[in-house]
Amino acid sequence: MSTIDAPERATLPLAGPAPRILLIQAPYYEAVVSGMRRGAEAVLSAIGAELQVVDVAGAFELPAALRMAIRNGGWDGYLLHGCVVKGETDHYQFICEAVCQGVMDISAETGVPLGFGLLTVETLAQAEARSAADRHNKGGEAAHALVQQIRLARAWDQGNGITA
């Protein structure tokens, strides 16, 4: 891991009903994505969230699955987890750019609360470090971001201005 230390993040209470969260995960690297899911579960259980998990074939399928889930509705927020490890071809770059752009387009268009946890790493060891059971866990970080987005959406839905 780098010399930069990840911040300690407290899970603050969330006003209103417990949120329903859909985690869309691409478990190609099962151990890594499972570690990220456990990090997210720790954050979400602290606010009593109901978590539903669905698998997709790979990272490339994450944006389309997100679009389908939003169309179906019923969730207060969405988490995306996956991992792409750089190989010897350009495939890595094309997949990472397509997934990130696809998710950003959907996020900007719909404004749904979203936590984006796609690891784009050079080695599997880097991915394992970012999915470990510590504060560097990117699944937990994505869940923290999602909870903050839900908090903000709820505040705005209630006409509470720009603070959550």
Q: What pTM was computed for the model?
A: 0.91
Q: Which two tokens stand for residue 38?
A: 């456990």
| pLDDT reported for residue 10 | 73
Which positions are annotated as active-site residues?
A: 91
The answer to the question of whether 85 is labelled as a binding residue is yes
Strands 77-85, 114-121: parallel, antiparallel or unpaired by DSSP?
parallel
Three-class DSSP category at 90: coil
Domains of the chain: 24-157 (3.40.50.960)
| pLDDT reported for residue 162 | 60
pLDDT in tens, 39-84: 999 999 999 999 999 999 999 999 999 999 999 999 999 999 999 9
Q: Which two tokens stand for residue 13?
A: 């209470």
| pLDDT reported for residue 96 | 96
| pLDDT above 70 for 90 | yes
CA 121, chain centre distance (Å): 16
The answer to the question of whether 61 is labelled as a binding residue is yes
pLDDT in tens, 123-163: 999 999 999 999 899 999 999 999 999 999 999 988 776 65
- Tell me what percent of the residues of the chain surpass a pLDDT of 90: 82
| pLDDT reported for residue 75 | 98
| Cβ–Cβ < 8 Å for 138, 35 | no
- Tell me what percent of the residues of the chain surpass a pLDDT of 70: 93
* Residue 101, φ and ψ in degrees, nearest 5: -65, -40
pLDDT band at 100 (very low <50, low <70, confident <90, very high): very high
| pLDDT reported for residue 161 | 63
| pLDDT reported for residue 9 | 73
The answer to the question of whether 89 is labelled as a binding residue is yes
DSSP state of 61: G
> Virtual CA dihedral for 158, 42, 72, 99, nearest 10 degrees?
110
